[in-house]
Structure 1
């Protein structure tokens, strides 16, 4: 099997389903997923939770960010440093100015926001399977970041997406970093231990 071609096919399939949801359904599903995520992560007071700024028609993390802050969590957003480097994370408060940056124009906190090391990362994705393997957008930012963080300390990775993005099987390569839990608008579940 050509793994790159299969991942490309799965990405297109899942992103097509996501786009077909429509704005109203995406907003409703984002709120439902936020409730599942908050229940699944447990106590967050004082913990650093890295979310992501939604790109195109991704699941909206704003409802979850509000709930996490209300529960005492410190929130952060990823910052792209360079194409082949791990992400870094900067504090994201309700009054933090976000600037669309980089080739994707994804909003990020500026350099004045303190850098943080997250305890939990919400991971964006295009497609996922029940084992916790995911297809990202092809740049490998989260695989690199999770590999570095997991080598340094215990960190939890939670895939956060719409249920329609689930596929039967994501082919895994040696560099792929699975998530520890998946959360959608329908449910949240822990995946098995990493091999």
Structure 2
């Protein structure tokens, strides 16, 4: 597929992916607790490793229980901030109980004065994922640019977080799409060698 065909295919799949995610969210509003258990099993992290998450939008699986657990273990936590269109994300430090402000795209973020951190493990939101580790995002390319930048400068583990119902047989990908290292859902862990 050429890049326009990939973009068109992704656009068409997003509507289907939103519907599947919404059904899963309504069926299991407590999925974030199960997700936390699977993340704990899947990720053995040395003390002090910086972790990024996100403040969930309606319908997204809730990573806040996991972030609270990582914070309690002494891991610095960062939440993503959109700096500008076409640019990688930055991550500002956050801890449970701290106030957030409304950022771009109606996403809650730490305030401008919060320190930046460089995450080594990124919990990445998505609309869909496939057995090869590719994700269908929201179309801005922010995480792809961010992962490409972090991977050029060292190891960054990209962990997609989703409902199990968000798995698709195939997610179209272009030359700039960054694969995930694994996906963790409320039901299981996917490592991308074709096996769960």
Q: Which interval holds the TM-score relative to the shorter structure?
A: over 0.9
- Indicate if the aligned counterparts of 1:48 and 1:73 stay in contact, CA closer than 8 A: yes
In structure 2, what is the equivalent of residue 115 of structure 1?
116
Alignment of 1:75-114 (within 5 A): 75-102=77-104, 104-114=105-115
Q: 1:172 aligned to 2:178? A: no
* Cα distance in 1, alignment partners of residues 67 and 87 from structure 2: 26
SS of equivalent residue, structure 2 residue 131: coil
Instruction: Quickly say closer, same or farther: Cα 1:22–1:40, change in 2 above 3 A.
Output: closer
TM-score by length of 2: 0.92
How many pairs were matched up? 191
* Cα distance in 1, alignment partners of residues 28 and 180 from structure 2: 22
- Indicate if the aligned counterparts of 1:38 and 1:67 stay in contact, CA closer than 8 A: no
Q: Deviations over 1:88-117 (max 9, x none)?
A: 001111132111112x21000012211000
* Cα distance in 1, alignment partners of residues 94 and 28 from structure 2: 23
* Cα distance in 2, alignment partners of residues 37 and 62 from structure 1: 12
Gaps of 5+ in 1: none
**Of residues 7, 12, 33 in structure 2, which corresponds to 1:9?**
12
Q: CA deviation at 1:33?
A: 1.1
In structure 2, what is the equivalent of residue 31 of structure 1?
33
**Of residues 53, 56, 66 in structure 2, which corresponds to 1:54?**
56
SS of equivalent residue, structure 1 residue 27: coil
User: Which runs of at least 4 in structure 1 moved beyond 6 Å after TM superposition?
Assistant: none
Q: Deviations over 1:138-186 (max 9, x none)?
A: 0000000001110011110000011111100112110000110110011
Gaps of 5+ in 2: none
RMSD of the alignment, in Å?
1.6
TM-score by length of 1: 0.92
Instruction: Quickly say closer, same or farther: Cα 1:44–1:53, change in 2 above 3 A.
Output: farther
SS of equivalent residue, structure 1 residue 143: helix
- Indicate if the aligned counterparts of 2:25 and 2:60 stay in contact, CA closer than 8 A: no
In structure 1, what is the equivalent of residue 192 of structure 2?
191
**Of residues 11, 18, 23 in structure 2, which corresponds to 1:20?**
23
- Indicate if the aligned counterparts of 1:47 and 1:73 stay in contact, CA closer than 8 A: yes
Q: Which has the larger displacement, 105-114 or 136-145?
A: 105-114
Q: Deviations over 1:124-147 (max 9, x none)?
A: 111110111011000000000001
